[in-house]
Amino acid sequence: MTEGRFGARLRAAMDTRGPLCVGIDPHPALLSAWGLPDNVSGLERFTRTVVEAVADRVAVVKPQSAFFERFGSQGVAVLESAFRQLREAGALVLLDVKRGDIGSTAAAYADAYLDPASPLRADAITASPYLGFGSLSPMIEKAVATGGGVFVLALTSNPEGPIFQHARTADGRTVAQTVIDEVSQVNAGVNPLGDIGVVVGATVGDTGHDMSALGGPVLVPGLGAQGGRPEDLRAVFGDDLGAVLPSYSREILSQGPSVTRLRDSIERLLDVCRSVVQPIG
């Protein structure tokens, strides 16, 4: 049913809570800035504080898996606990794992992160298409079948990205445009929003890529501490901003460990994002 699909749930969450994704990135420097030890105890306290601040007031929360994985099974247990708490408070969980492989390995990733029976099941994941878009089929098929989503890297803000993403294919399209077009085909006919999205950095500027037929959400990292500004979104997307999901991490997390300051930062950025990102008419 449409109500159970990720795209529909994301659309409802963005309409209700606003167009904002908050990252949970407990890297060592941030733990230190919060006065926390760089160990599992510090990770757990950091994550618990962020979840308390964001879970009941933003549409999407995006934990960066690597910062939990570096503590082994205990770190992954903290991540699983955060998933449960976020869902109980009504937030969607987008796990930033950027997985990409072929065949049975891609299927295993899909089982790990998108199967309802998995303790690491997220509402959506990020994925890399650079072994070929078809390599993502097991993840995309699992997502569509189980009410999950996949955000595929398309145009990233890192300086090395254009070497691959702007390279031309035999038919003249850029690699990034082929990714966008493939996602558009998956989303065709799905309303109100497709389950498969793309990742486009806030600082890429006007690249000339056509996303008008995408039909799905666009995750936009790189805002705030990474140099992107909300007003830059119009340079990237024009006036077609209804499916854009701005993502902030460090600009919000730097306000901790005070829950009040974290929430104040969220409210400020929500107001900014609402003023720029217009809902779908």
The one catalytic residue in 98, 229, 234, 250 is 98
What is d(CA 29, CA 38) in angstroms, rounded to the nearest whole number? 9
Q: The domain spanning residue 222 has which CATH number?
A: 3.20.20.70
In-domain check, residue 281: no
Percent of the chain whose pLDDT exceeds 70: 97
User: Mean of the pLDDT values across residues 66-92?
Assistant: 98
Q: For the chain, what is the domain count?
A: 1
Residue 264 confidence (pLDDT) above 80: yes
Q: Which amino acid is at 261?
A: R
Residue 21, φ and ψ in degrees, nearest 5: -115, 135
What is d(CA 255, CA 272) in angstroms, rounded to the nearest whole number? 17
Cα 223–chain centre separation? 13
Residue 89 confidence (pLDDT) above 80: yes
- What tens digit of pLDDT does each residue of 31-40 get? 999 999 999 9
The DSSP element (H or E) to which 100 belongs, if any, is none
- What tens digit of pLDDT does each residue of 180-235 get? 999 999 999 999 999 999 999 988 888 889 999 999 999 999 887 677 888 888 88
Q: Give the CA count within 13 Å in the CB-facing half-sphere of 105.
A: 6
98 is a catalytic site residue:
yes
* Sign of torsion over alpha carbons 223, 226, 231, 235: negative
What is d(CA 31, CA 198) in angstroms, rounded to the nearest whole number? 30
In-domain check, residue 135: yes
Residue 166 confidence (pLDDT) above 60: yes
In-domain check, residue 252: yes
Range of the domain at 145: 2-276
In-domain check, residue 158: yes
Residue 43 confidence (pLDDT) above 90: yes
What is d(CA 74, CA 77) in angstroms, rounded to the nearest whole number? 5
Cα 134–chain centre separation? 21
- Helix, strand or coil, per DSSP, at residue 127: strand
Range name among 138-152, 191-205, 227-241, 261-275 with the lowest pLDDT average: 227-241
> Quick one: pLDDT at residue 3?
54
Range name among 142-146, 162-166, 232-236, 258-262 with the lowest pLDDT average: 232-236
Residue 280 confidence (pLDDT) above 60: no
Residues in Cβ contact with 131 at an 8 Å cutoff, skipping those fewer than 6 apart:
100, 101, 102
Q: Are 217 and 183 in contact (CB under 8 A)?
A: no
The DSSP element (H or E) to which 231 belongs, if any, is none
The DSSP element (H or E) to which 274 belongs, if any, is helix 259-276
